[in-house]
Chain A
Amino acid sequence: MPSHDVLVIGAGLAGQRAALAAAEEGVSVGIISKVHPVRSHSNAAQGGINAALNPGDSWESHAFDTIKGSDYLGDQDAVEIMTREAPEEILHLEHLGVTFHRNEEGKLGTRAFGGASAARTYYVADITGQAIMHVLYEQLMKYSEQIARYEEWFCSSLALDESGECCGVVTRNVADGTMELFQAKSVILCTGGNGQVWQPTTNALICTGDGIAMAYRAGAKLMDMEMIQYHPTTLAGKGFLITEGARGEGAHLLNAKGERFMEKYAPNKMELASRDVVSRAEQTEINEGRGFPDGTVALDITVVPKKRVHEALREIVLVGRDFAGVDITREPIHIKPGNHYTMGGVKTDVDGRTDIPGLYSAGETACVSVHGGNRLGANSLLDTLIFGKRSGRDAAARAKRIDASRPSKKVLEDEEQLIADIVSREKGSGRRISEIKRELGQTMDSKVAVFRDEAGITEALETVRRLKEEAKTAYIDDHGSVFNQDLIAAIELGYMLDNAECTCVAALERKESRGAQYRTDYPERNDEEWLKHIDLEQTDDGPQLSYSEVTITQWEPQERTY
């Protein structure tokens, strides 16, 4: 049985940072990822990473912007930690070799970003996530003796010992199909978000909510699952992301009449208001007939100097050219709000600890919560790194403190049985996995998106529950062991359906409008009743609801205008 003190599941930014932090504490570390680490979706974070590092800026200002952005649902103690530790983390990354943009003096330079009261976003052109992740992977290669990498291994369930503590995971080596039970004193889930539950989405095909579902099934609480971010600038149809950096560099949003409509919705911050605000404004323009016939509005980047576009928005030039056939330096590009980010997730404390001893979570999988109802642009990379680091350290400390307990073989046998069941289903015995996935995605995108109401969410929940039944008989074509992607897709579909059910239940429960949750039947924020988190726990009858307090330290909720 492979065994490590700390086992990290997922090798995006949160996972890699957690693994490096744990290894620094001198414990043995393993990092498991269902794809090669550099394929992880942190790659797609384009715009940058926030930190109050400039003279004149302060962590308090960064914290306030984050809390206001969260529509006061963010826990202020966690936000304080994240914003206070941000500058040191940026410098740490710079020292490791990240090629951050420099100003004329050769020092770190910044760009403006949405919802922020100062230009505090550090960046590498518009490949910031990729640049940071590749540098962290360089460090993983450097410390290969301390950190064992299991690349292209898929995790399917968590193992708990008799006292209910997490002590390992069941995995499948994708390359040859062997199943393996890993033993660990601490397990850190860093498997990213669940964007694939929606179609279209900016998220990669691998973002199927694995860690959220595994933790939920093991008995951990989920939190803020109704809070799903729709990004204001995604391509219609394919859902590809156009970085907020474009608006940070000065690009305008225009409706079909050529009006800069943000004047009506956020007269001060205009295009750089919070994402939920901008997405709602766009959707309103589209719904009220001022959009283009393809259900979009326009992003005009031609107002940004060409030289600056090539230097700082090159990826977007390529996306426009290759995926929309538009030269963004010459003409506006059509965009719309699209599914982008999971604010909710596995409920953790500020050291990544979940309700299950020994089980940690960080990054998009986790909900600390620093993003509350709405995440600010360029805070996601920061979240992954700060809480990746903190959970890595705490997981290592726990590993030093406790003796390992041996996971029971039964979890492995159960999992093997489950897989045998899926593989043995006859062709035509049910629906295809891809059909169910498509129906799920379309349902969620039409009913649980920018604007929601009781009837729509209820309908979505009913559909999700029907699809859960149908998934039990869905069949696959591939019966082999080597790279059986068909089988993995079947397991991922199960994860996605659990995620979807939780989101629907929480969205139905929250009878107010806050952040990304906008209920047309309850259009006002209601602090008196709903300034609280919705927690979800698995039972045989579906998710069970409870509430937890929002931590407020020094910023009392106030009206939110931009």
Chain B
Amino acid sequence: MADYTIKVRRFQPESGEGPYWEEFNVDLDPSLSVLDGLLQAKDRDDGSLAVRCSCRAAICGSCGMKINGQSGLGCKTQIGEAQELADKQASAAGEGGNGTPIVIEPMGNMPVIKDLITDMESTHWTKIRRVTPWLLPHGEPPEREYVVEPESMIDITQSMACIQCGACVSSCLSMEADPGFIGPAALAKAYRFVGDPRDAETKERLHDLAHDPHGIYDCTHCFSCIDACPKGVAPMDQIMRLRRKAGEEGIDDPNSGHDHEIAFVKIIEKKGTLDESLLLQESFAPGFKGKLKPSKRAIREMLGSIPTAIRGIKTGKMRSLHKLIPGVHPKLPDQDDVKAIYAHAEEHSEEFNLYIKGEEGELAEENVEKGIERSTDPDTAQEVKNG
């Protein structure tokens, strides 16, 4: 048992007053959760303290909240750890020592209804419904099951692991700037269908999400949602996969992210290092043909980048010859190592997700190290046990 002070941002809509802070003293084992702390305060001190909760085990997704400024689940955050973070934050801000109150607030990017309860319907669920969140197969289903690659099901199970808690939405920096952004949870949900071989509208879904100005290119790649997600769904990764699929579909990416990525890979494959001065040309007018007959867009982009280049020269960011003149950058001497990396990547091109690689990728690393093939058939393994 240990004593903690939790400082809750409260709002009682019927009081006629604005939000305020209230501190509660609770005593519980450090391994118990922040939600346990809140429930103790609710049970002992004030039953009007409002917080959605149900399973207490990070499955139902009810108790999304901000703890010390970080979005997550109250039930999955140990109160002892929350205390450590509160102390660390306070000492970093020069505000002293141990026993700093643990700050608990409602989720961000959503209207607050009462205390820690937010209006998820008007934000989160409206966005989920925006991505046509149901399977759209072609024609009548088969007599038995759809036969699909086993990996494809494991692949989208990462998106299926989403419990719709809203922590990613709460933490999303893009949505703060553009409330219209479809957002991490809904786009992760979209990948669940785009990656599903049973869905027949993959192309239409990708075009829809790519052409919406609040769609897949609205993400700024800030990783906040990955940090916030309590279930390892990694919404940003799912958005990046949507982008990659859109690129493969030949969808014109207004940010040229897809072409840019290919240019990076190509240049490094050739030179073993990044020849930055080639990037622009390779991204917009790749290869021999691109140089001879650049597209209108390529010319526009090249001209448009001249002021940036001039600024770079003026401020001294582009001084050396190989940063100024495309193709002058020397190759790295040991090309064999670079080739080996590319060969390895080619061989292991299949994407490892959470259900394959394990937490923190430890299993994937072990597999790569030991060269273990993924082949054991769980069904036969079980039959042996079963018999």
Contact = CB atoms under 8 A, between A and B. Distances in A.
Interface of A: 35-36, 38-41, 43-44, 91, 94-97, 99-112, 118-119, 124-125, 127, 130-131, 134-135, 138-139, 141-142, 151, 175, 204-206, 238, 240-241, 248-250, 305-308, 310-312, 314-315, 317-319, 321-323, 325, 432-434, 476-486, 489
B82 interface: no
B31 A325 contact: yes
B376 A480 contact: no
Nearest to B372: A307
Interface stretch (B50-58, B220-228, B302-310, B322-330): B50-58
A434 B58 contact: no
A436 B51 CA distance: 21
Contact of A99 (B51, B54, B160): B160
B374 A110 contact: no
A214 B183 CA distance: 41
Contacts of B61: 38-39
B5 to A, nearest CB: 20
A478 B48 contact: yes
Contacts of A482: 13-14, 113-114
A39 B358 contact: no
Interface stretch (B147-155, B279-287, B292-300): B147-155
A476 B378 contact: no
B62 A35 contact: yes
A308 B55 contact: no
A35 B54 contact: yes
A140 to B, nearest CB: 9
B362 to A, nearest CB: 9
Interface string B324-361: 00000000000000000000000000000011111100
Given A35-B62, A38-B61, A483-B113, A151 B134 contact: no
Given A101-B153, A107-B147, A310-B356, A112 B56 contact: no
A433 B46 CA distance: 12
Contacts of A124: 153, 157, 160
Q: Is the interface of B mostly helix, strand, loop or mixed?
A: loop
Given A108-B145, A118-B386, A306-B358, A206 B54 contact: yes
A240 B57 contact: yes
A490 to B, nearest CB: 9
Contacts of A108: 145
Contacts of B120: 36
Contact of B60 (A43, A248, A308, A486): A43
Contacts of B31: 325
B363 A100 contact: no
10 contacts: A41-B54, A95-B145, A104-B150, A125-B154, A125-B161, A142-B134, A307-B376, A308-B378, A310-B354, A479-B48
B87 to A, nearest CB: 20
Given A91-B144, A206-B54, A482-B14, A314 B355 contact: yes
**What 3 pairs between A and B have smallest CB-CB spacing?**
A97-B135, A477-B47, A478-B48
B53 A205 contact: yes
B121 interface: yes
Contacts of B161: 125, 127, 130, 314
Of A40, A139, A322, which is in contact with the most chain B CB atoms at under 10 Å from its CB?
A322
Given A99-B160, A124-B160, A238-B56, A310 B47 contact: no
Given A39-B54, A101-B150, A485-B50, 20 more contacts: A36-B62, A38-B164, A94-B146, A99-B196, A106-B147, A106-B148, A107-B147, A111-B382, A125-B154, A125-B161, A127-B161, A135-B135, A141-B134, A204-B54, A205-B56, A238-B56, A311-B355, A477-B48, A481-B14, A483-B117
A137 to B, nearest CB: 9
B46 A477 contact: yes
Nearest to B161: A127
A470 to B, nearest CB: 16
A149 B199 CA distance: 26
Given A41-B60, A141-B129, A204-B55, A322 B150 contact: no
A306 B14 CA distance: 53
A9 to B, nearest CB: 17
A95 B198 CA distance: 8
B374 A317 contact: no
A309 B204 CA distance: 36
Contacts of A135: 135
A138 B54 contact: no
B138 interface: no
Contacts of B65: none
Contacts of A240: 56-57
B114 A312 contact: no
B318 interface: no
A432 B154 CA distance: 47
A44 B134 contact: no
Contacts of B156: 99
A248 B382 contact: yes
Contacts of B150: 101-104, 106, 109
Contacts of B84: none
B374 to A, nearest CB: 7
Given A175-B113, A482-B13, A311 B356 contact: yes
Nearest to B46: A477
A248 B141 CA distance: 31
B69 interface: no
